[in-house]
Structures are given as C-alpha cells and as structure tokens.
Structure 1
Amino acid sequence: MRKFLRTTRFRVALTAFLASLIALSVVSAWLVLDAQNRLGNGAAQVARERAAAIVQVLNTGAAPADLRLHVRASIYEVTTRTGERVASCPGLRSGGIVPDGGILYRDSVQDLKPGDVDLASQESIGCASALGEDPEGNGLRLHVAAIPSGDSKYRVFGAAIVDESGQAALDSVRVTLLAGVPVIALLIGVIAWLAVRRSLRPVEAIRSEVAEIGAHDLSRRVPAPDSADEIAKLAETMNTMLARLDTAVTRQSRFTSDASHELRTPLASLRTQLEVLLAHPDRLDWRDACRNALLDVTRLQDLVGDLVLLGKLDNAAPERLTPVRLSEVVESCLSGRQGVRAVIEGDPTVLGDRGRLERLLRNLVDNAQRHTRTGVEVTASTMDGFGVLAVTDDGPGIPTGDRERVFDRFVRLDDGRARDDGGAGLGLAIVAEIGRAHGGTVEVADHDGGARLVVRLPSAEARS
C-alpha cells in the first residue's frame, strides 16, 4: 500500500482531484453567492423604489390617509416616529411589514402569514397585484426597505415579494453542487490516473527491457513508442546510450585481448630465455642472454607505458593547458635525430600540454622513420585558426581503405608498412587520443610517394 501511495500515477491523480475540487468549489461558491445577491438585490431595489415613491407623495403635502388615492400596485406602510401606524397598503393588516423591534432605517426580510393579508376586500385593489397570490397558503416573504419622510415626521416602509421559486431553484442548485462537485473532482482524478497509467506503459516497457539487459548482451535495444513526446526521446536516448556502451565494451574487450596477446609474447620470450639459461648454463653466453632479456623487458616497459598513457587519455583531458609554440615542440623532438628535416612556417601557437604534444610528434616521427626510404619532413604552420603539424615520409604509404583503421589500437597493417621492428600498434592510437583530448583532429592526407599524417590543433588565439 505504501508503494502504491508513492507511485507517480497516484500522486498525479491525487493532485488532479484536489486541484479540481478546490477550483470547482471556488467557482460554485462564487456562482451561488452571485445568484443569491442578484436574487436579493432585485427585491431590495423594488422595495426601495416603492418606499421612495411614497416619500415623494408625502413630500408634496399629501396626508398619509390620502395615499390610498395616489398610490396603486404597491406594498407600503407608514408609521410615526414613535411607531404608530398611520397608513398602509389596502388589504395589508396591521403590523404586516413593520420589522419587529422597531428597527428604524435598515432593510430586512419579513414573512407574511396567510392571515396578514386580506385580498378579498374591495379596498385591497391598491396592493393586490403587488402582493400576488399565495396558492399554497404558506404566506409570503417580503424584502422591506425603510426611508424617513422629508420632514422626518414619518417612517415609510416599502416592500417587494422575494422570488420564492428562484430561491427554491437556487437552493436546489446549491444542494446539487454540494454533492456534485466532489463527484466530478473524483471523476477527474480517476481520469488522470487512467491517463497517466496509459502514458507510462512505454516507460514500464523500457524499464523491463533495461532490467533484462546484461553486461554481455548490450546489443539489445529498448522499445521506442511511435510518438514524438518525451518518452520517445527517452527511449531514443537510452538506445543511444546502449549503443555507446556496446561499442565501449566491445572496444574494451578487444583492447584487453590484444593487450594480453602483446604482453604474452615478450613474457614468453623472456621466460624461455631464462629457462634455457638455467637449464644449460655452460652452453649459453649469459651476457647475450641477459642482453636479449633486457630487450624484452624494455619492450614490456614501453608497452605498459603506452597502455598507462592510453588509460589516462581515456579518463580525462589534460589538466594544465598553456600556450605552446609548435616550433619549440618540433625542435625538442627532432634534437639528435638523423634524416629528419623541419620546416617552420610562421609562429604557430596552440593551447595544450607540452609533454603530451611532444609525445604526439615523437610517435609520428618514429612511425615515419620506420617506413621511410630516404628521409622524413616535419612541417609546423598555421591555417584557418589551427596550428598544423604534418609529418611526411617517402615509404610505401597507407592504403585508402586503412586510413581510418590505422589509428585504432593494436592495429598493424598487412602490407609492407606493417613490417614493424618492435612497435605494438599503439603509437598512432596515442597520437589520435592526444589530438582528440586537445580538441583537434588527426588524419592521413593524400600524398604521392609515401604517407602524410596531419594534426590540426586549435590555435591559442582562437581559444582565447
């Protein structure tokens, strides 16, 4: 039960019920009060007009006893300031509309009993039409207005019949609204509950599918509803996320497999050499064996260093970005190298990590030197707001179909360019990751008679 009360469906339904109950109650109360005021104001206005008409007649000098001759179709009564009755509407018996307690000048509502009105006498012609009939014999309800005469000698009471049929209809409407508003609010709440339940069905389908997807089955996708609402966007986002996870897990699995293979080869060679040296110490030169073992250890050390660097590049971008002149990076990397020519055009400056940029260029030059025939050319320039590093060799080149794949990890091409003398296939992958971490791009450009690898990095001026 507690779970149900905390569900979205229940909370939305409860909110819809309470909101509609409050809104309908406020509107209903306003309508009833407005109708009540209109109903009462109609009788009050007529009563005041009749009292004012009597006062005007008295102000002309007419005596109260003469009102029966001057006033027709009106309900009235005139008293002195002490409350003594001096005139009244014909057919209205004594004290019929004067308020109890002798209230002076305030509107009031008085009930006339059947015996307070005598419409059968001939004198009642003056107010018979105003009093109307009492078919049920229950009496009449009058709204009474009191006004003093101009000389303040008299108090004039004018009256008008309150519309009992309208009041009864209003009372019926009040009872109907009192019972109907909660029912309508409850119905709105139920409709809201059903609507939310129907709207959340795709979410439940997505949740069920995600719950069944395991770490080794990321190829599955959640069902996307045939709509353009937020739930469809959620399903699209979930599928995009699953696709990225699938790609990342596949790449990680392949990377782990390739890394274990690359680590296994030098370890196996190292172990074999040590086992042979221990088994036949008199047949092998221990210096040659140690020299070969050291080469394998160096290869392992380089491989582990590359793997650690790739792990860092995967997890975060460089923390410290400072203006770096590419000419200084080129000079530092090419110092002591033979067969490499540098060309600096202008003074290209980028915002980055100098150590990683030097590693990027070093890997490019190492790769080019392994495959060149005569020499390598390194160019640093500025183009369209980018600092550009280009490394060119005159080796066998890179086939067009392999120009994207060559930047993947542990990739070594099958052509003449793959005859590597110790590389593990991580050099260009590190180049690509460093370039990406600096907001740049790395690509194999078209070049006749060799390979040309181009790195584009946003210049420091463009980022500032």
Structure 2
Amino acid sequence: MPRFGRSTRFRVALTSFVTSLLALGVVSAWLVLDAQNRLGNGAAQVAKERAAAVVQVLNTGAAPADLRLLVQASIYEVTTQTGERVASCPGLRSGTIVPDGGFEYGDSVQNLKPGDVDLARRESVGCTSALGEDPERNGLRLHVAATVSGDSKYRVYGAAIVDESGQAALDAVRVTLLAGVPVIALLIGVIAWLAVRRSLRPVEAIRSEVAEIGAHDLSRRVPAPDSGDEIAKLAETMNTMLARLDTAVTRQSRFTSDASHELRTPLASLRTQLEVLLAHPDRLDWRDACENALLDITRLQDLVADLVLLGKLDNSGPERLTPVRLSEVVESCLSGRQGVRADVQGEPVVLGNRGRLERLLRNLVDNAQRHASTGVVVSLSTVDETCVLTVTDDGPGIPAEDRERVFDRFVRLDDGRARDEGGAGLGLAIVADIAHAHGGTAAVADHEGGARLVVRLPSADTRN
C-alpha cells in the first residue's frame, strides 16, 4: 500500500466514505421499496374492490354481457371456470389481465404491453378512464385481484394501475438517490479527512518534537494543546515521562560519576602502594604494605558489592516474597554486636526477602554505631497493621535540612572524616531502596540527642 494509503487520515476518510455509502444506500433502498410497496398496496386494494363490485353485480342475477353498462370506470374481466372469456372491460383484448399462471385467489401483478389495449372498440365508456391517458403507447403495470362469483360459475378478475403521478415522483426520487448517495458519502469522507487532519496537527507537533529530543537533551518538552482532550492528556503524559527520564538519566549520570570517583580512590591508593613497594623493596615493610593493600581491596570489594546490589534493586522485577518474622531478623543481625540493645514488641511478620531485610537492618545499625556516642537501640513494633522498625543512636543527629537527601546515593554528611570510617555513602540509599521494594518507606524521625531512623513495612496480613 502506498504511504499515503497508510495514513490515519486516509483510513478514517475511507472508512467514513464506505460506511456512509452503505448506510445511506441501505436506508435509501428501504425508503424506495417501502414507497413502492405502498403504491402497490393501494393499487391492490383498488383491484380487490373492483373485483368485489363485479361479483356483487353478478350475484344480483345480471348477465356478464350487461357488465359493460352496469360497471363503469373499472378494469375487469370475467371468464368461465374453463377460462372462456364472457365479459371484459372495453378496450382490453381477451385474456389480457388473466395471470399467466392461471386462476389463483389473491393479488398478482400483470404487465400489459401497448398492443394489449385497443381503445378504438368503445361500445361504452367502460374502463376508458381507468386505463389512463395513453395506455396503447406507454403500456401498463396492473395489480390483479382474482375471485369467483357467488354461484361459482364465473371467475372474476379486477385490476388497477399504480398512481402515475406517485410512480413518477418515486422514480424521480430513485434517480436522485442513486446519484446523490455517492456524492453525499464522498462529502462525508472529505469532511472526515479534514477533521482528522485538523485533530492530528497537535500529534504531528508532538511527534516532531519527540523526534528531535535526544538522550542528552531530555530537558525539552512537547507542546501541550489547551483543548483538554485525549491529545492534551497524551502530551501531558509524554512530558511527565520525559521528566522522569530526565531525572533518571541525571541520577544515573551522577551515580556513574560518583561511583567512578569512589572506585578511583582505593584503586589509586592501591596502585601507589604497589609502585612504591616495587620501587623500594628494601625500604618498606612488605607485611605492612600488604595489610594496607588488603584494606583498600576490602573497601573496594564492599563498594562493588553495594553497587551491584543497587543495580539489582533498580532493575529487578516482582520477586517471590515469603513470610519473614522481623524478630528473627533483629536477633540474627544483632548477634555478637556490642553496645546495641533490642526492644521487640510482639511478632511482626512481613512478606519479603529475608536476606535483603537483614541487609537493611545491618546497614541501619552500622550507620548508627558509626555515629553513636554510647549505644544504639533497635525497636520493633506493629502500629495500625504496619511493622515499624526503629534504630536510634545518641550521636550528633541529622540536621533537618538533610533528612531527605541522606537517603540519596553517595551522600555523606560527615565529609571531614576519613573515608575508611565514613563509608561511601551507599548504606542508607540501600536501606531506602530495599524498603521501597517491599512496599514500605524509610525516613528520619524527630529525636532529641541523636538520630532516629524509622522503616515502615506493611504487615503480611495487609499485603494479603
């Protein structure tokens, strides 16, 4: 199919044209047939009345030959039971209105040719007026009603022609519809094409703008019409999606840059130590050098593990979750730790990944111990069908303006401390991502004399 034929405008216009043509054609045909049937039914009724009038005259004892004088302005024919003609309307040749299939009660249609009518034989006025102005030239289409006389000696046929003026008007309407329906359908198709063309202009503007937006220029937005229709909603959705992509790409770029910086530091330190050790093997203690190198490798390994976990949390789909008792998670994570006290109320159960929930609590406790002065308290309870896990320390606390960004990646509020003590700034980011993956939240709560981090997770009953 040509490219023009694949366009939405053409397909909608073609569909409108074909649908309109079929609909208008069916309606027009029905109207014409209904009008034709009405004309035919009127003629059939007149034919029945004329046949009944002839039967009534014959039932009074009149002879068939007297019908020409007694029945005026009527089309009729009377035959014997054997089909022999005994009387007819003047001007009709013998057997003219008798149905081709022979006698049969009811209404039938008979077409008269110009030669079947001869008005030169006018013994009386007879059926002259009922045959129209010039039946010899135009021919006639008759509706014939057949019946029998009261004594069953004669077969009586009454006939009537369709109203000529009505038939002429109907024929004119038929011709008009035959020519007008395609024109109207074509006009509807053109209107549909113009309407769709006008409606799709904003879509084309959106498409053109999207085609020019590249991966490094996601700050641009598509034009949003003020029509308030589906196209405006599409533009709003596109702009929302572009905003999310812009945020995601910016965050990914920042994450890549920060990760590269964090990876570069231990690698540079490790390389420097090895280069010095190789350059001056007799001046350095190999054991101390290897221990320092091992520390850098350990920090590097932990950083890579955190980055891998964050990547899995970002890209993982729905997981198969199992019931997990948070009291067991607290007991497992706090086993062997000094200066950490647990306060567990009840038996909160969540649907989740036990390993990642243990990682969440471990990161919270590690962060709290890093900042605590004397000790850390881990609390676990259930509030309004929500499992609440709280880790509190008595350290310097977290400023109110930093309580949201503390969960961002590579954010360290203690920039002045050594890197090997302060970490890479991924611990709380992992906490937030794991909580979100389990349908929960992580936040910093108000607390005097230290920091309090609260994780809320829906309980297993709520998730079900």
Judge same fold: TM > 0.5, yes or no: yes
Deviation sequence 1:161-214 (CA, Å, 0-9, x none): 332222222222222222222222222222222222222221111111111000
* 2:449 is equivalent to residue 449 of structure 1: yes
1:23-422 correspondence to structure 2 within 5 Å: 23-68=23-68, 70-89=70-89, 92=91, 95=94, 97-99=96-98, 103-105=102-104, 107=108, 108-111=110-113, 116-117=118-119, 123-124=124-125, 127=127, 130-131=130-131, 133-134=133-134, 138=138, 142-316=142-316, 319-413=319-413, 421-422=421-422
Q: Is the 8 A contact 1:317 1:438 kept in 2?
A: no
Q: Is the 8 A contact 1:218 1:245 kept in 2?
A: yes
Taking the aligned partners of 1:318 and 1:66, their CA distance within structure 2 comes to 103
Give the match's secondary structure for 2:175. helix
Taking the aligned partners of 2:57 and 2:122, their CA distance within structure 1 comes to 27
Q: Which amino acid counterpart does residue 455 of structure 1 have in structure 2? A: V
Q: Offset at 1:290?
A: 1.6
Give the match's secondary structure for 1:2. coil
Deviation sequence 1:111-168 (CA, Å, 0-9, x none): 56697235987x42x6555456449975665444332222232232323233222222
Q: Offset at 1:218?
A: 0.4
Q: Which amino acid counterpart does residue 215 of structure 1 have in structure 2? A: A
Q: Relative to 1, partners in 2 of residues 1:41 and 1:373: Cα closer, same or farther, differing over 3 Å?
A: same
Give the match's secondary structure for 1:359. helix
Deviation sequence 1:81-120 (CA, Å, 0-9, x none): 455544444x546648544869434632335669723598
Q: Relative to 1, partners in 2 of residues 1:331 and 1:60: Cα closer, same or farther, differing over 3 Å?
A: same
Taking the aligned partners of 1:273 and 1:423, their CA distance within structure 2 comes to 21
Q: Offset at 1:79?
A: 3.3
Normalising by structure 1, we get a TM-score of: 0.91
Deviation sequence 1:46-66 (CA, Å, 0-9, x none): 111111111022122222234
Taking the aligned partners of 2:366 and 2:157, their CA distance within structure 1 comes to 117
The runs of 5 or more residues in structure 1 that have no matched partner are none
Taking the aligned partners of 1:138 and 1:264, their CA distance within structure 2 comes to 107
Give the match's secondary structure for 1:33. helix
Deviation sequence 1:16-64 (CA, Å, 0-9, x none): 2222222222112211211112112212211111111110221222222
Q: Relative to 1, partners in 2 of residues 1:152 and 1:353: Cα closer, same or farther, differing over 3 Å?
A: same
Q: Relative to 1, partners in 2 of residues 1:74 and 1:260: Cα closer, same or farther, differing over 3 Å?
A: same
2:8 aligns with 8
Taking the aligned partners of 2:416 and 2:157, their CA distance within structure 1 comes to 122
Normalising by structure 2, we get a TM-score of: 0.91
1:438 aligns with 438
- Segment of structure 1 superposing worse, 53-62 or 250-259: 53-62
Q: Is the 8 A contact 1:397 1:417 kept in 2?
A: no
Q: Is the 8 A contact 2:115 2:136 kept in 1?
A: no
Q: Is the 8 A contact 1:109 1:144 kept in 2?
A: no
Residue identity over aligned pairs, in percent, reads: 82
Q: Is the 8 A contact 1:110 1:143 kept in 2?
A: no
Q: Which amino acid counterpart does residue 257 of structure 2 have in structure 1? A: S
Q: Is the 8 A contact 2:111 2:140 kept in 1?
A: no
Q: Relative to 1, partners in 2 of residues 1:375 and 1:417: Cα closer, same or farther, differing over 3 Å?
A: farther
Deviation sequence 1:244-277 (CA, Å, 0-9, x none): 1100000000001111111111111112222222
Taking the aligned partners of 2:202 and 2:318, their CA distance within structure 1 comes to 42
The runs of 5 or more residues in structure 2 that have no matched partner are none
Deviation sequence 1:336-382 (CA, Å, 0-9, x none): 11111111111112221111111111111111111111111111111
Q: Which amino acid counterpart does residue 381 of structure 2 have in structure 1? A: S
- Segment of structure 1 superposing worse, 58-67 or 350-359: 58-67
Number of aligned pairs? Answer: 461
Q: Offset at 1:227?
A: 2.1
- Computed over aligned residues only, the root mean square deviation of the Cα atoms, in angstroms, reads 2.7
